[in-house]
Chains A and B, each alone.
Chain A
Amino acid sequence: MSDISNERPSFLTRFRESDLWWNFKGSPGAIIAAILTFLMIFGAAFANFVAPHNPFDLATVDLFDALLPPAWEEEGKASFLLGTDDQGRDVFSTILYGSRISLIVGFASVGFAAILGIAVGLISGYAGGVIDSILMRIADVQLSFPAILIALLIDGVARGIMPRETHDELAVYVLVVAIGLSFWVQYARTVRSSVMVERNKEYVQAGQVIGLPDWIILVRHILPNVMGPVLVIATIQLALAVITEATLSFLGVGVPPTSPSLGTLIRIGNDYLFSGEWWITIFPGAALVILVLSVNILGDWLRDALNPKLR
Chain B
Amino acid sequence: MFKFVSMRLLQSIVVMLVVGLIAFGLFRFVGDPINNMVGQDTTLAEREALTESLGLNDPFLVQYGRFVSNAVQGDFGMSYRLRQPVSGLIAERFPATLELSLISAFLALALGVPMGIYTALKPKSIITRGFMTLSLMGVSLPTFLIGILLILFFGVTLRWLPTFGRGEVIDLGWWSTGFLTASGLKSLILPAITLAIFQMTLIVRLVRAEMLEVLRTDYIKFAHARGLSPRLINFSIALRNTLVPVITIIGLQVGSIIAFAIITESVFQWPGMGLLFIQAVSEVDIPVMAAYLLLIAFVFVVINLVVDILYFVVDPRLRVQS
Q: Tell me if chains A and B make direct contact, with any CB pair below 8 A.
A: yes
Whether A239 and B277, one on each chain, are in contact in the complex, defined by CB atoms closer than 8 angstroms, is no
Q: Which chain B residue shows the least CB distance to A286?
A: B145
Whether B259 and A145, one on each chain, are in contact in the complex, defined by CB atoms closer than 8 angstroms, is yes
Whether A252 and B282, one on each chain, are in contact in the complex, defined by CB atoms closer than 8 angstroms, is yes
**A246 to B143 alpha-carbon distance, docked (Å):** 10
How extensive is the interface on chain B, given as a class? 35 or more
**A160 to B27 alpha-carbon distance, docked (Å):** 10
Q: Which chain A residue shows the least CB distance to B14?
A: A137
**A252 to B282 alpha-carbon distance, docked (Å):** 8
Residue of B140, B149, B156 with most partner-chain A CB within 10 A: B140
Given contacts A146-B260, A281-B148, contact A247 B284 (CB under 8 A): no
Given contacts A141-B15, A146-B255, A253-B282, contact A152 B148 (CB under 8 A): no
Asked if B289 is an interface residue, CB under 8 A from chain A, the answer is: yes
- Which A residues are CB-close (under 8 A) to B151? 273
Whether A148 and B148, one on each chain, are in contact in the complex, defined by CB atoms closer than 8 angstroms, is no
Cβ contacts B148-178/A at 8 Å (1 or 0 each): 1101100010000000000000000000000
Asked if B304 is an interface residue, CB under 8 A from chain A, the answer is: yes
**A310 to B216 alpha-carbon distance, docked (Å):** 9
B:119-152 near A, CB below 8 Å: 136-137, 139-145, 148-149, 151-152
Q: Which chain B residue shows the least CB distance to A236?
A: B139
Partner of A156 from B141, B145, B212, B281 at Cβ < 8 Å:
B281
Whether B137 and A153, one on each chain, are in contact in the complex, defined by CB atoms closer than 8 angstroms, is no
Partner of A159 from B149, B252, B281 at Cβ < 8 Å:
B281
Asked if A155 is an interface residue, CB under 8 A from chain B, the answer is: yes
Whether A157 and B252, one on each chain, are in contact in the complex, defined by CB atoms closer than 8 angstroms, is no
Partner of B263 from A247, A266, A309 at Cβ < 8 Å:
A247
Asked if B98 is an interface residue, CB under 8 A from chain A, the answer is: no
**A243 to B138 alpha-carbon distance, docked (Å):** 12
A:258-311 near B, CB below 8 Å: 263, 266, 270, 273-274, 276, 278, 281-282, 285, 288-289, 292-293, 296-297, 300, 309-310
Q: Which chain A residue shows the least CB distance to B286?
A: A160
Given contacts A145-B300, A247-B143, contact A160 B260 (CB under 8 A): no
Whether B260 and A159, one on each chain, are in contact in the complex, defined by CB atoms closer than 8 angstroms, is no
Whether B262 and A309, one on each chain, are in contact in the complex, defined by CB atoms closer than 8 angstroms, is no
Asked if B103 is an interface residue, CB under 8 A from chain A, the answer is: no
- Which B residues are CB-close (under 8 A) to A144? 252, 255, 300, 304
**A309 to B266 alpha-carbon distance, docked (Å):** 42
Nearest CB of chain A from residue B68's CB, rounded to whole Å? 17
Whether B259 and A146, one on each chain, are in contact in the complex, defined by CB atoms closer than 8 angstroms, is yes
**A289 to B259 alpha-carbon distance, docked (Å):** 21
Asked if A107 is an interface residue, CB under 8 A from chain B, the answer is: no
**Which 5 residue pairs spanning A and B have beta carbons closest together?**
A160-B30, A146-B259, A293-B140, A156-B281, A146-B256
18 A-B residue pairs with CB within 8 Å: A146-B259, A146-B260, A149-B262, A152-B281, A153-B26, A157-B26, A159-B282, A160-B284, A247-B263, A251-B262, A251-B263, A251-B266, A281-B148, A285-B149, A288-B142, A292-B140, A292-B141, A293-B136
Residues of A within 8 A of B (CB): 141, 143-146, 148-149, 152-153, 155-157, 159-161, 239, 243, 246-247, 250-253, 263, 266, 270, 273-274, 276, 278, 281-282, 285, 288-289, 292-293, 296-297, 300, 309-310
Given contacts A145-B296, A155-B281, 8 further A-B contacts (CB under 8 A): A141-B18, A145-B297, A146-B256, A247-B143, A273-B152, A273-B156, A288-B145, A292-B142
